[in-house]
Amino acid sequence: MAYFRRRIVFVAVALLFCLYHFHGISGGGGLLQTQTDPIAATQTIIKNRIDWNAVPQRYPVESMIPLPSGTPAKIPNIQYKFGKETKAGKRKRQERLEAIRESFLHSYRGYQKYAWLQDEVTPLSGEYKNGFGGWGATLIDTLDTLWIMGMKKEFAIAVAAVEKIDFTSSDSKVISVFETTIRYVGGLLGAYDLSRGKYPVLLKKAVELGDFLYAAFDTPNRMPITYWEWEKATSGEEQEAGTSVPVADLGSLSMEFTRLTQLTGDPKYFDAVQRIYDGLAEQQNDTRLPGMWPLMVNARKMDFTKDATFTFGAMSDSLYEYFPKQYLLVGGLSEQYRKMYEGTIKAAKKHIFFRPLNEENRDILVSGTMRDVATQSERLDPEGQHLTCFVGGMVGIGAKVFNRPEELDTARRLTDGCIWSYEAMPTGIGPEIFRAVPCLDPGDCTFSLDRYYHWIATDMHYREEDEDEDPPLTRAKAFVKEMGLFPGFTEIRERKYILRPEAIESVFIMYRITGDKTLQDKAWDMFQAVNRYTRTDVAHASIEDVTSTHPRKIDSMESFWTAETLKYYYLIFAEPDLVSLDDYVFNTEAHPFKRPS
């Protein structure tokens, strides 16, 4: 029988190898391309496989927290009831849909040709790089996009490749538990749910990876090690969570681990993440900004209160995003997630959201950052991050799910704030980080150049020191010209665009919630700009400067380009029942998980 099994492996790998080359996927340094003998490659995978369930835990859980059970609560519908479209409207929508699909195919073919089974393709040099465990991040992150775009043949080929990947170990010495969870576990589960369980290997691999990651929770207080030297767990070394950990790295594992428990019945995954939520919930009103959690927390001591920076931006973002989504995923059977969201949104509306001064006098909002909270230097930093553009969609979902209709306007204004950041740039693409002029009185936000220059003069601490120096306003005008700023912006701190999805994510969600077709037109303008400036001969590339009409390209295409950005662009022009928000809930990497019915 052993001989027979080896023969099956031999035939399967040989057929797969031929299939890859038949579809033009050879070359570029992928796993099968760099191995002269594909059978040897497969044997290596099998030989190095680790059974993580057999690795003893130093701090085993004595009593598991159970998954909420019962009949799902009655949750209000999220999606707008779309009517019948005109023939002309349908034709325009389908033309746009095909253009987006073509851009996706261009990027995916580049990955197939130059980086198959590697993490990322380099879109300028036509090579690859591995920064996310080396398990083929783009391949797995893109699985459900293939399914959504109707590429079932390519999907089947990709699933066959996934079956050969060993998720029990990695060539990387240190693993980001957060990135591995949202991209890989999320990607496998999203593809499994969308394909309605027709490919059991996807769940099998998600469990394999979930068991690997579960060992990162083997610490005295069961808080995970977010940047994990995984080999220590195999040798039984002592493990402790970090003392300075981005709060998103802790709080953004819940959906994926919860879905694993739902699909497998194994309570350990949900137990692992619910312990984090319980700790966060207990301290929600003890932080320097009650209702929210600071940017950095001490996971080792389970102290989530000390830091003084609060934001929906980098290193915090998806913690908050997951509150309403986790509520949806468990069918509304836990009020904890609602309460955490409601505490957050109350604090954010009072302290974080601000109305920016802008030339068109648009009534919009930007999500900023509170710094040095509860000190004499406490202040709102009126910065906008591309990462915070998800907030409009989050608030929109929260408004519908938790019956807070007055906040739909807040959600739309936040989304429009991100659209403004795109439309204000010469490329039509929003920057990574900018600063704007906050209207201290939201009811008094009429633009004038004098008002704009006065804020810059004050904000930049321009002072007239002697009679020979230029007055502050004169120097402020010179500063604007020198820095290449646009009316309303006081600084563009990071001018790059790295193919991020957050702006189109909120535009898509608000379209599905409101049915407002002007959002489709905004999305189309955004897509055309991004496609125009990022396309290369190989795929699509990040760009250095959105304020230049000839931006230099960067040799990088992260997997979220095909996993999230192009998926959201596609879905806003697809039929509204394709991945309906009333049937699925997206994780932070745009992987759709089936909601309880």
Name the binding residues for Ca(2+): 588
Phi-psi region of 133 (alpha: psi -120 to 50; beta: other; left: phi over 0): left
The span from the CA of 159 to the CA of 155, in Å, is 6
Q: Cβ-count burial of 76 within 10 angstroms (0-12 exposed, 13-18 middle, 19+ buried)?
A: exposed
Please answer whether residues 123 and 557 qualify as being in contact, where contact means their C-beta atoms are separated by less than 8 angstroms: yes
Phi-psi region of 489 (alpha: psi -120 to 50; beta: other; left: phi over 0): beta
Please answer whether residues 136 and 2 qualify as being in contact, where contact means their C-beta atoms are separated by less than 8 angstroms: no
256 assigned to active site: no
229 assigned to active site: no
* Number of Cβ within a 10 Å radius of residue 542: 22
Please answer whether residues 108 and 368 qualify as being in contact, where contact means their C-beta atoms are separated by less than 8 angstroms: no
Q: Element (H or E) spanning 163, and its range?
A: none
525 assigned to active site: no
| DSSP secondary structure code for residue 263 in this structure | H
Output the six-digit token pair for 260. 């694993």
Q: What is the dihedral of CA 392, 190, 525, 496, to 10 degrees?
A: 80
| Catalytic one of 144, 317, 505, 558 | 317
| Catalytic one of 211, 502, 505, 589 | 502
The span from the CA of 23 to the CA of 19, in Å, is 6
In degrees and rounded to multiples of 5, residue 470 shows phi and psi of -65, 150
The span from the CA of 140 to the CA of 135, in Å, is 8
Please answer whether residues 107 and 557 qualify as being in contact, where contact means their C-beta atoms are separated by less than 8 angstroms: yes
Q: DSSP string covering 553-593, please?
A: EES---THIIIIIHHHHHHHHS-TTTT-TTTEEE-TTS-EE
The span from the CA of 230 to the CA of 216, in Å, is 7
Please answer whether residues 134 and 34 qualify as being in contact, where contact means their C-beta atoms are separated by less than 8 angstroms: no
Output the six-digit token pair for 66. 């159970």
What's the 3-state SS for 64-98?
CCCCCCCCCCCCCCCCCCCCCCCHHHHHHHHHHHH
Please answer whether residues 539 and 557 qualify as being in contact, where contact means their C-beta atoms are separated by less than 8 angstroms: yes
179 assigned to active site: yes
The span from the CA of 534 to the CA of 334, in Å, is 43
In degrees and rounded to multiples of 5, residue 303 shows phi and psi of -110, 110
Known binding residues = 588
SS3 (DSSP) at 522: helix
The span from the CA of 126 to the CA of 135, in Å, is 19
| Catalytic one of 432, 545, 558, 564 | 432
Output the six-digit token pair for 149. 């775009």
SS3 (DSSP) at 568: helix
| Catalytic one of 120, 144, 154, 179 | 179
The span from the CA of 277 to the CA of 100, in Å, is 38
User: Burial code of 195-230, b = ≥16 C-beta within 10 A, e = fewer?
Assistant: beeebeebbebbbbbbbbbbbbbbbeebbbbbebeb
Which alpha helices (H) appear in 116-198, and where do they start and end? 137-141, 143-148, 152-162, 177-179, 186-194
Q: Which residues are catalytic?
A: 179, 317, 432, 502
